[in-house]
Amino acid sequence: MTTPSPGDVRALCARALDGGILELAELEALLAIDDERLAGEVFSAARVARERHFGDGVFLYGFVYFSTYCRNDCAFCYYRADNALSPRYRKTMAEVVAICEGLASSGVDLLDLTMGEDPLIHGDPGYLALLELVGAVRAATGLPVMVSPGVVPESALRDLRASGADWYALYQETHTPELYARLRVGQAFAERVITRRAARAAGLLVEDGMLTGIGDTAADRARSVAAMREAGWPQVRVMTFVPQEGTPLADVRPAGDLAELLTIAVLRLVLPDRLIPASLDVDGIRGLERRLAAGANVVTSIVPPTSGLAGVSNAVLDIDEGYRTVAGVLPHLKRLGLRPAGTAAYLETLERLRVAGAAPLPGGAAAPAPSRAAAVGSQAPPP
Q: Which residues of the shown chain bind ligand SF4 in the complex (CB under 6 A)?
A: 70, 72, 74, 77, 79-80, 116-117, 150
Q: Minimum distance between the CB of residue 215 and ligand SF4, rounded to whole angstroms?
A: 16
Which residues have CB under 8 Å from 257's CB, separation 6+? 240, 282, 283, 287, 290, 291
Q: Minimum distance between the CB of residue 65 and ligand SF4, rounded to whole angstroms?
A: 9
Q: Which is nearer to ligand SF4, 246 or 362 (CB)?
A: 246
Dist. CA 215–CA 227, nearest whole Å: 19
Q: Which is nearer to ligand SF4, 127 or 346 (CB)?
A: 127
Helix and strand counts by DSSP (H, E) for the chain: 16, 9
Q: Minimum distance between the CB of residue 326 and ligand SF4, rounded to whole angstroms?
A: 26
Q: Which is nearer to ligand SF4, 79 or 346 (CB)?
A: 79
Distances (CA, A) of 89 to 62, 97, 316: 19, 16, 14
DSSP-derived letter for residue 65 is E
DSSP-derived letter for residue 49 is H
Q: Which is nearer to ligand SF4, 72 or 106 (CB)?
A: 72
Q: Minimum distance between the CB of residue 288 and ligand SF4, rounded to whole angstroms?
A: 23
Q: Minimum distance between the CB of residue 230 and ligand SF4, rounded to whole angstroms?
A: 24
How big is the chain, counted in residues? Answer: 383
Report strand pairing: 145-148 vs 167-169: parallel
**Helix pair 128-141, 93-106: axis angle to 10 deg:** 30
Q: Which is nearer to ligand SF4, 72 or 217 (CB)?
A: 72
Report strand pairing: 298-302 vs 235-240: unpaired
